[in-house]
C-alpha cells in the first residue's frame, strides 16, 4: 500500500496533476494494478489460517487507509480544475471497490465505529434509500403504522452525511430480518417485528418513546388495576425470554431492553400503589 500512498499524496494532488495531465492514463493503470495487488492480498488473508488478531489488524489497517485516501481524493476534487474531476472519480471508484470488498468478506473484522468517507456515504445512502423504500411498501401491506416506520428508518435516512460502519451493517442485517415471515398473520408479523427490534437492540430514544406510548394505550384499555399489573408482568416476562445479542444501533445509548425493564418496573410500582390505596 506504500506505492498507492505515494501516488495519492505526491502524484495526483491538484497542484502537481494540473501540469502533468499527460500522465493520467498511466497513473490510472498504476492505481488499478495496486488495487489488484491489495485485493489479491486480502484473498490470501481470507484463505490463510491466520489468527483472528492478525486478520483484524490487517483488515482494519486497509480499512483506515481506504477511508483516509478517499477523503483526500474528495478534498482534491473540491480544490481542482474541472478537467480533473473525472480522473479523481475513477480513482475513487477503485478505492471504493476495495472498501466494498472489505464489507462483503471481512465485516466481522472491521472497525465498525469508523465513519464512512463522504464519497462512499453517497453510494451507501442511495442503496439504502432504495432498499428501505421497497421494505416500506412491504411493511405497509403488513399494516405496520407510519409512526413506527418513521421511528425505524429515520436514523439511517436522516444521517446528515455522518454514517458509521456500525449503522450501515446494523440496517443491512435489519432489512434482511424483516423479510416476509411466511405464514404469519399481520398481527403476528408486527409482534415478530418488535421481537426483532428488541433482540437486536434497536435502542433509539424515539423507539423507546414509541413503545412506552403504545404501552400506556394498552393499559388504559384495562378496567381494573389487577389487569394492568398482569399486563405489565406479561411484558416483563416476554422481555426476559428474549436472547441478548452483541449488536446495538447506537453505542452511546443504553439498551432498549434495560430502559423498558426500568420503565415497566416503575409502572408496576405505580399501579401497585394505586391498588394499595384502593384497598385502604
Q: Give the 3-state secondary structure of 123-181.
A: HHHHHHHHHHHHHHHHHHHCCCCHHHHHHHHHHHHCCCCCCEHHHHHHHHHHHHHCCCC
| Least confident residue range of 1-5, 9-13, 200-204 | 1-5
Distance, first Cα to last Cα, the chain = 78
- Per-residue pLDDT tens for 186-197? 999 999 999 999
pLDDT at 266: 92
Average pLDDT rounded to a whole number, residues 243-258: 90
pLDDT at 216: 93
Chain centre to alpha carbon of residue 123: 14
Q: pLDDT band for position 1 (50/70/90)? A: confident
List, in order, residues 6 or more apart from 194 with CB less than 8 Å away: 211
Q: pLDDT band for position 233 (50/70/90)? A: very high
Q: pLDDT band for position 21 (50/70/90)? A: confident
pLDDT at 278: 60
Helix (H) or strand (E) segment spanning residue 42: helix 24-47
pLDDT at 177: 94
DSSP codes joined into one string, 209-244: HHHHHHHHHHHHT-SSHHHHHHHHHHHHHHHHHSPP
* Residue whose cell numbers read 426500568: 262
Query: Count of alpha carbons within 13 Å of 70, Cβ hemisphere only?
Result: 24
pLDDT at 279: 57
Are 123 and 172 in contact, with CB atoms under 8 Å apart? no
pLDDT at 81: 86
Average pLDDT rounded to a whole number, residues 83-90: 93
Across the chain, what does the average pLDDT equal?
Answer: 92
pTM: 0.89
Q: pLDDT band for position 83 (50/70/90)? A: confident
DSSP codes joined into one string, 51-87: -HHHHHHHHHHHHHHHHHHHHHHHHHHHTS-GGGHHH
Amino acid at each position: 500500500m506504500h506505492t498507492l500512498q505515494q501516488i495519492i499524496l505526491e502524484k495526483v494532488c491538484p497542484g502537481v496533476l494540473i501540469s502533468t495531465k499527460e500522465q493520467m492514463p498511466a497513473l490510472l493503470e498504476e492505481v488499478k494494478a495496486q488495487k489488484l495487488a491489495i485485493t489479491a492480498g486480502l484473498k490470501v488473508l481470507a484463505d490463510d489460517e491466520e489468527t483472528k488478531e492478525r486478520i483484524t489488524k490487517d483488515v482494519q489497517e486497509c480499512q483506515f487507509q481506504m477511508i483516509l485516501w478517499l477523503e483526500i481524493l474528495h478534498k482534491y476534487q473540491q480544490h481542482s480544475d474541472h478537467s480533473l474531476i473525472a480522473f479523481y472519480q475513477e480513482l475513487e471508484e477503485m478505492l471504493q471497490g476495495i472498501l466494498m470488498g472489505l464489507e462483503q468478506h471481512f465485516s466481522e473484522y472491521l472497525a465498525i465505529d469508523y465513519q464512512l468517507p463522504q464519497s462512499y456515504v453517497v453510494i451507501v445512502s442511495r442503496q439504502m434509500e432504495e432498499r428501505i423504500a421497497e421494505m416500506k411498501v412491504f411493511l405497509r401491506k403488513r399494516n405496520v403504522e407510519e409512526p413506527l416506520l418513521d421511528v425505524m428508518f429515520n436514523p439511517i435516512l436522516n444521517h446528515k452525511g455522518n454514517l458509521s460502519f456500525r449503522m450501515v451493517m446494523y440496517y443491512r442485517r435489519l432489512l434482511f430480518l424483516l423479510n416476509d415471515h411466511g405464514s404469519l398473520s399481520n398481527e403476528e408479523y408486527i409482534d415478530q417485528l418488535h421481537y426483532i427490534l428488541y433482540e437486536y437492540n434497536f435502542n433509539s430514544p424515539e423507539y423507546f418513546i414509541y413503545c412506552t406510548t403504545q404501552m400506556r394505550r394498552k393499559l388504559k384499555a384495562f378496567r381494573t388495576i389487577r389487569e394492568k399489573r398482569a399486563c405489565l408482568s406479561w411484558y416483563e416476562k416476554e422481555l426476559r425470554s428474549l436472547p441478548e445479542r452483541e449488536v446495538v444501533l447506537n453505542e452511546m445509548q443504553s439498551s432498549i431492553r434495560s430502559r423498558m425493564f426500568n420503565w415497566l418496573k416503575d409502572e408496576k410500582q405505580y399501579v401497585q400503589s394505586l391498588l394499595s390505596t384502593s384497598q385502604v
